Amino acid sequence: MTLSTQERFDLITNNLEEIIGADELKMMLESGKEINHYVGFEISGKLHIGQAVMIMQKVKDLMDAGIKVHIFLADWHSYLNDKFAGDLVLIKEVADGYFKEIFKAAILMLGGDPEKLNFITASEYYSSHPDFWLTFLEVSKNTTLSRIERSISIMGREEGAAKDFGSLAYPPMQAADIFAMNIQIAQGGIDQRKIHVIMRDTADKIKTNAPMFDGKRVKPVAIHTKLLPSLAKPAIWPIPEDMDKRELLNKGKMSKSDPNSAMFMMDDPQVIRKKIMKGFCMEKEIGYNPILEWMDMIVFARETGGITIERPDEHGGNISFADYADLQTKFENGDVHPIDVKNYLADYLINLFAPARAYFEEPSKKAMLERVEEILEIISKKKK
RNA sequence: CCGGAGGUAGUUCAGUUGGUAGAACGGGGGACUGUAAAUCCCUAUGUCGGUGGUUCAAGUCCGCCCCUCCGGACCA
């Protein structure tokens, strides 16, 4: 089964929030040469649903499109961002074992081949490629402090919050990662946009590890997936007429640090159900409705043939939807109730995650999971 | 390095002349809705930055230390 260039392009770009450099991508696909992709992750104890589904589904699409995919384990970046209380030894331990397995589990549940995932650990890459640091300096030299500062909100910090100088090294590191590893497609959530733009802007100026493809200088392409909104009630409700819904969704993106707004791939089924049930969902309201957004971004993105919600006759019996627009119409009319949708979504996620949970039933993997829980326990005590 | 202002609940802060630590928001639980939200009840918060001292008694007074913010100084 060989795909046409157009089919490959469509696989890579479907369901994206945006692509920067579509022309470069087409050109590279035309060449038929191997294309390297990467997506970076800070090391954490859990994979949240945005990473597990939105990011990894795109990795699976890329895999299907014949792109060489890389998962970049950003251990030093995690240290800069105070993950695991800034304990590099613990970060490294988790990165080397458990964290790789959790990505294999994620790609497996999405129907991909774990063998096709290539892992690169930041610290190891840096020590074997010392010229990375010259690239890092070149990126730094070719951008400005104010752009770095503006790009830094991706680290999940509030603006104005105390930041150390090391955190400023983060964006140029991330840009330099892409050049040093000879990446043609850099993937991230739309929150990574500012850093990727810095990367693209400096791409022409880099001398060491200049981005080359097929003998030519080509700016790496940035692809950005959508962010799942928080299920909590928005800060402002009702929403004023003149407010940009997209801005609001962005503001309400899930935060890993707030356990109530985030859902994790390895959450117990009953926890998943509870989190969905707690979600803000106004009856007949389609203007701002995070539950419906999840249906769109998760369910309809995958179920292109439509879905059927099963429900007892007393609540109207089973009801089918051809696509998301159909769901919106019927929801707005009141043909389908929030609980119907929530039940469906909860079941859907529980089933979707089931293979990943099963993957960790295997004794050696279970031991890793328990060890990570132990580490997280140590960290929370350490913080106190 | 000097000066100023700070450090109290998850967050923003209040805390009288020293006398058992508070509010709001957020969190948790319940009522009401076929969900959630809104509304109404109920509820838990904590090494008061650390340490030594004065005192019957210290968040509060004193000494030392740590950290944050602002300004100044230094700039061969």
Q: Is the CB of A279 under 7 A from strand B?
A: yes
Helix, strand or coil for residue A335? coil
Measured between alpha carbons, how far is A56 from A298 in angstroms, rounded to an integer?
12
Lowest-confidence range among A97-111, A125-139, A145-159, A238-252?
Answer: A238-252
**A157 confidence band (pLDDT: 50, 70, 90):** very low
State residue A87's pLDDT score.
84
In the numeric block, the tokens 């890329």 are attached to A62
CATH topology of domain A245-260+267-359: Tyrosyl-Transfer RNA Synthetase (1.10.240)
Confidence class of residue A257 from pLDDT cuts 50, 70 and 90? very low
CA of A293 to C1' of B15 (A): 46
Residue A247 has pLDDT above 60, yes or no: no
CA to C1' distance (Å), from A384 to B50 = 14
Q: Are A185 and A38 in contact (CB under 8 A)?
A: yes
Range A84-107 average pLDDT? 92
A27-55 average pLDDT score: 94
Closest nucleotide to A312, Cα to C1': B34
Residue A78 CA neighbour count, 13 Å, CB half: 26
Residue with tokens 């050049």: A179
Chain A residues 234 to 253 whose Cβ lies within 7 Å of strand B are 237
What's the whole-number average pLDDT of chain A? 89
How much is the average pLDDT of A96-108?
A: 95
As a whole number of angstroms, the distance between CA A149 and CA A189 comes to 19
Mean pLDDT of A216-245: 81
pLDDT exceeds cutoff 70 at A371: yes
User: Before A238, cis peptide (omega within 30)?
Assistant: yes
**Whole-angstrom distance, CA of residue A269 vs CA of residue A4:** 40
Angstrom distance, A258 CA to B10 C1': 10
Closest nucleotide to A289 by C1' from CA:
B36
User: Is the per-residue pLDDT at A59 higher than 60?
Assistant: yes
pLDDT band at A150 (very low <50, low <70, confident <90, very high): confident
Q: What is the mean pLDDT of residues A248-266?
A: 61
ipTM of the complex: 0.81
Alpha carbon A80 to its chain centroid, in Å, reads 20
Task: Give the Cα separation of A151 and A199 in Å (integer).
Answer: 11
Confidence of residue A233 (pLDDT cuts 50, 70, 90): confident
Question: Which of A45-49, A165-169, A327-331 has the lowest average pLDDT?
Answer: A165-169
A260 has a pLDDT exceeding 70: no
Return d(Cα A200, Cα A152) in angstroms, integer.
16
**Å from the A227 CA to the B39 C1':** 32
Predicted local distance difference test score (pLDDT) of residue A139: 96
Write out pLDDT tens, residues A282-308: 999 998 899 999 999 999 999 999 999
Q: Does any strand B atom come closer than 7 Å to the Cβ of A384?
A: yes
Q: Which nucleotide is nearest to A233 (CA to C1')?
A: B37
Lookup: tokens for A158: 């509030």
Distance CA A124, CA A147 (A): 28
Q: Give the residue-averaged pLDDT of A88-98.
A: 91
Dist CA A69 CA A183 (whole Å): 10
Task: Identify the H or E element spanning A17.
Answer: strand A16-20
Q: What strands lie across the sheet with A118-121, from one edge to the other?
A: A16-20, A221-225, A185-189, A37-42, A70-74, A118-121
Worst-scoring range by mean pLDDT, A32-41, A130-139, A232-241, A327-336? Answer: A232-241
A117 neighbors A41 (Cβ within 8 angstroms): no
Give the whole-number percent of chain A exceeding pLDDT 70. Answer: 89
Which residue has better confidence, A58 or A230? A58
Which bases of chain B come closer than 7 Å to a protein CB? 27-28, 34-38, 47, 68-69
Comparing C-alpha atoms, which of A253, A251, A187 is closest to residue A224?
A187
Q: What is the pTM of this model?
A: 0.90
Average pLDDT over residues A325-352: 96
pLDDT band at residue A156, thresholds of 50, 70 and 90? very low
- Does the C-beta of A340 come within 7 A of strand B? yes
Q: State whether the beta carbon of A369 lies below 7 angstroms from any atom of strand B.
A: no
Give dist(CA A187, CA A44) in Å, integer: 19
Q: Give the pLDDT score at A207.
A: 95
Q: Which of A167-171, A181-185, A192-196 has the lowest mean pLDDT?
A: A167-171
How is chain A split into domains, by residue range? Answer: 5-225, 245-260+267-359
CB of A280 nearer than 7 A to strand B? yes
Q: How far is the CA of A160 from the C1' of B12 (A)?
A: 15
Query: Distance between CA A119 and CA A96 in Å, rounded?
Result: 10
Instruction: Please tell me the class of the A5-225 domain.
Output: alpha beta
